[in-house]
Amino acid sequence: MSRPLVVVNLKTYETAHGASAENLVKAIASVETNARMVVAVSAFDLSAVVNAAPNLEVWCQHLDPVGFGSYTGWLHPSTAVERGASGTLINHAEHKVSIEHVAMLLDAVPEGFTVCACAADIDEARALTALQPDYVAVEPPELIGGDISVTTADPAIVSGTAAAVREISEQVGILCGAGVKNGADVATAIELGTIGVLLASGVTKATNPKEIIEDLVSSL
């Protein structure tokens, strides 16, 4: 768990979907770093992104704990694996689910498939950690997409989450996100007890995303 992790969530930004997503992940993959780089992509773009950047780790933005059969509109974990996904986000602030959904998903995914559960606060992080996902990422919803990093606006929620998670598990990795945009934000996140960051607009809206990624990992 010692290797720093940087997860870039492409969401559904106009600059990060379809052909734009393929170009963006190529730029991310071109950066030389010791950090573990991951992109979380739309189900529509999964196969194309995997093919565009075969050496880059690709996660889904969401999955559902369903089996094969009559599940119109749901996202099946096995299909994601077959299309090249190696992990998924779950319970992001923009796609909340129940704690039962997260628990069932953890039972549904194959061994070695990474699950990063997102939490809005320390209490939710504590509840999710009890389920033993691979990572818990704390992201205060009011700071997501903003100009001020959580590490500056509310460092206590980051350090508090790190402490709460460690009270329950030594295995669950800790991430933080919301407003993270540069290497100083990432360095502070590590100092506050995380193993890395989850971010989006700081990269997806950048004129030169490669330059931004290089800055983000500069202290790692």
Q: Is 92 a catalytic residue?
A: yes
> Which of these is catalytic: 92, 142, 170, 214?
92
What's CA 127's distance to the chain center, in Å?
18
Is residue 211 flagged as an active site residue?
no
From 57, 62, 76, 139, active-site residue: 139
Cite the active site residues: 92, 139
